[in-house]
Amino acid sequence: MSPADQKHGRGPADDLPPDLDLEDEAAEEIVEAEAQPVAPDVAFTAIDWTPHAGDADGMVGAEVIQTLVKRLPNAPGVYRMMSATGDVLYVGKARSLKKRVTNYAQGRFHTMRIGRMVRETATMEFVVTRTEIEALLLEANLIKRLRPRFNVLMRDDKSFPYILLTGDHVSPGIYKHRGARSRKGDYFGPFASAGAVDRTINSLQRAFLLRSCTNSFYENRTRPCLLYQIKRCAGPCTGEISHEGYAELVAEAKDFLSGRSQKVKTEISGAMQQAAEELDFERAAIHRDRLAALSHVQAHQGINPQTVEEADVFAIHQEGGQTCIQVFFFRTGQNWGNRAYFPKADPALEGAEVLGSFLAQFYDDKPPPRAILLSQSVQEQELLAEALSTRAGRRVAISVPQRGEKKDLTDHALQNAREALGRRLAETSTQARLLAGFAETFGLGKPPVRIEVYDNSHIMGTNAVGAMVVAGAEGFVKNQYRKFNIRSAEITPGDDFGMMREVMQRRFSRLLREHGDMQPATETLDDGGDDPVDGNGSFPAWPDVILIDGGQGQMTAVRQILADLGIDDRVAAIGIAKGQDRDAGRERFFVKGRDSFTLPVRDPVLYFVQRLRDEVHRFAIGSHRARRKKEMVKSPLDEIAGIGPGRKRALLLHFGTAKAVSRAAVEDLVKVDGISEQVARLVYNHFHEN
């Protein structure tokens, strides 16, 4: 069986009748008709059918699949395999649903992983599509949305930032943008990181003097702001530059971001020379600074190809059972950064299968460039290119360069993938040793898979916040972090014990409601096991260990809560008390059944625990500061029911301050746009008891 068949959960090709077409579809079922369409111009036809009570009652695995396959059409579509509990196990596409699902019904498989996937299948659901392209697009959409356990999964699905030049205002602004492109304007990107966008916008402001303020700020200026004073804005808000002059700056910025940078630099250089000849050295200096800013932008873009105008470059490297995919973004002939991905995939899968599945998911919600360059071929490469072309409404070419500058780009990306995976393997190995040492130091039966660390932050009891950070086999798992706004009125301000009791009560009461079965942290698969840290559900919800930043008093409160909930013997709790003079390295540890103890100053486990504690400190303090800042800027208008952000803004723009609003008469309030007499009386009565 090919690696592609392994990836998609297919049965062994040599065990199947020769008339069955294994194709290249991804294994697993489909989402029902309610599934979100992948593209607005792609329609799907759903089979409105699920097993009747008598069809597959009590059946599971190949037996239930044999029952379902009898009624499937010989048409393209997507299928979804689900467990008895309703969890989605796998999503896949098929050129022929009947032939594809028949493969699973044979009951003979080359790998234990595929066999387990079929054995756990209790039911399947299907969606019929008009073409295989539609099936491929829908499959990628469902995999990203449902995150099935047996599919190749992207770990990091964060959207990419873009630069937006607005088109809905007489004086367009330049902004960083994420998400849907609902605002009118020109979008340039993607950039690999928010930092890259911020640096580029900063330099573009110096080069083109474009505004970055909000429209409301712009409309209410009576004199130029600080950005005008430091030569980062042309000051269109107060007429420091004419609308025509500002439009020329915007046009130059568009040219530069569209790849016509040499044209822009030539024009600015000519203007500088002309100003110098006219002895207008101040204007010449402004053009000189703009040229320097443009050079700064290009200098921070790394290698800029000469023959590649618009392309994404993908390179994959596998080692030690893990995979790294490095992506470089080239737009308008400029390098706009790169990012490394570490997808969750079966170690038995070859790079071509992993990369092909990754690409389909990667472009599920992103516009593809005109060219996609790969370090190696992927299966269904032509089908994928046709699908992306359908979505983009233009031709998208996928190729594996063999020579020239494009080959250099893929080689460069491959080198970065090797180095990124090497660093990750080194960090993972170190983390594994630390977890083993942690288990030995604190008397645990095995290395913990999930560690939760708790701390509180407040100032004299005000704006109290509890924080939880999570760590696992690959370091901190930030999408599992949680904060708890302390809200109990019975807690005395500054009562750390009471705050910790509330945090523990809320955390573990909810955990019992949602995951009361306390499944093992991970289940060992016969083919190597699931990755315990992938953020899609296989990372355990229950902690093996909880670390409490506090001494014996804190631990007493925590253990009492755990005992009341009946889980004190199932979750290990460890207290960390600050050492003498609060010096790092002298911390005392409190573990049930043992006297408090310290660790040697240079013990790696001590450093590991200190890192955990420092991270929860950082998160707790940051959460507290954010809450305190919100309270500091809170307006009395926020307390009035029926006054939302729009009316609040209108009142403040009309009267200037909340205090002026509180003094206004009803007759004055109704003069504000959007404020009816009823709302005006509501506002007035809030500030006047009589």
Reported as a single tens digit per residue, the pLDDT across 115-173 is 888 888 888 888 898 888 888 888 888 988 888 888 888 876 667 888 899 988 889 99
Give the H or E element holding residue 589: strand 588-591
pLDDT for the residue 52? 41
Q: What is the CATH number of domain 311-421?
A: 3.30.420.340
Reported as a single tens digit per residue, the pLDDT across 230-269 is 888 989 999 888 988 899 889 888 887 776 666 777 777 8
User: 29 near 126, Cβ under 8 Å?
Assistant: yes
Cα Rg for the chain, rounded, in angstroms?
A: 30
Give residue 327's pLDDT band: very low, low, confident or very high (50, 70, 90). Answer: very high
Reported as a single tens digit per residue, the pLDDT across 483-522 is 888 877 677 776 778 888 888 888 998 888 887 765 544 3
Number of CB atoms found within 10 A of residue 583's CB: 10
Question: Cα–Cα distance between 592 and 681 in angstroms, integer?
Answer: 61
pTM (2 decimals)?
A: 0.66
Tokens of 384: 């994928």
Question: Cα–Cα distance between 477 and 474 in angstroms, integer?
Answer: 8
User: 346 near 6, Cβ under 8 Å?
Assistant: yes
pLDDT for the residue 529? 38
Reported as a single tens digit per residue, the pLDDT across 588-605 is 899 888 888 888 888 888
Q: What is the CATH number of domain 451-618?
A: 3.30.420.340
Phi-psi region of 522 (alpha: psi -120 to 50; beta: other; left: phi over 0): beta
Give the H or E element holding residue 334: strand 334-341
Question: Cα–Cα distance between 665 and 683 in angstroms, integer?
Answer: 10
The CATH fold of domain 3-146? GIY-YIG endonuclease (3.40.1440)
Question: Cα–Cα distance between 472 and 31 in angstroms, integer?
Answer: 32
Is the pLDDT confidence value at 414 over 90?
yes
User: 670 near 655, Cβ under 8 Å?
Assistant: no
Reported as a single tens digit per residue, the pLDDT across 1-14 is 444 444 444 443 33
Most confident of 313-327, 337-351, 660-674: 313-327
Reported as a single tens digit per residue, the pLDDT across 382-413 is 999 999 998 888 899 999 999 888 999 999 99
Dihedral of CA 234/237/242/248: which sign?
positive
Tokens of 8: 């998609």
Most confident of 86-100, 259-273, 513-527: 86-100
Q: Do domains 311-421 and 451-618 have the same CATH topology?
A: yes
pLDDT for the residue 70? 81
pLDDT for the residue 355? 92
Partner residues linked to 124 by β-bridges: 81
pLDDT for the residue 346? 82
Question: Cα–Cα distance between 548 and 577 in angstroms, integer?
Answer: 9
Mean pLDDT of the chain: 79
Question: Cα–Cα distance between 430 and 607 in angstroms, integer?
Answer: 12
Give residue 451's pLDDT band: very low, low, confident or very high (50, 70, 90). Answer: very high
Average pLDDT over residues 525-537: 38
For residues 111, 114, 117 and 122, what is the CA-based torsion angle, rounded to 10 degrees?
Answer: -110
- The domains of the chain are located at 3-146, 162-299, 311-421, 451-618, 636-687
Is the pLDDT confidence value at 328 over 80?
yes
Is the pLDDT confidence value at 447 over 60?
yes
pLDDT for the residue 410? 92
Pick the CATH number of 636-687 from 2.30.40.10, 1.10.150.20, 1.10.3720.10, 3.60.15.10: 1.10.150.20
Tokens of 623: 């959460």
Whether the link from the prior residue into 369 is cis, omega within 30° of 0, is no
pLDDT for the residue 460? 64
Reported as a single tens digit per residue, the pLDDT across 192-201 is 778 778 878 8
pLDDT for the residue 120? 86
Reported as a single tens digit per residue, the pLDDT across 33-74 is 333 344 434 444 444 344 443 445 556 778 888 888 888 888
Tokens of 69: 């396959």
Number of CB atoms found within 10 A of residue 527's CB: 16
Reported as a single tens digit per residue, the pLDDT across 563-622 is 888 888 888 899 998 866 556 667 889 988 888 888 888 888 888 998 898 899 899 888
pLDDT for the residue 452? 94
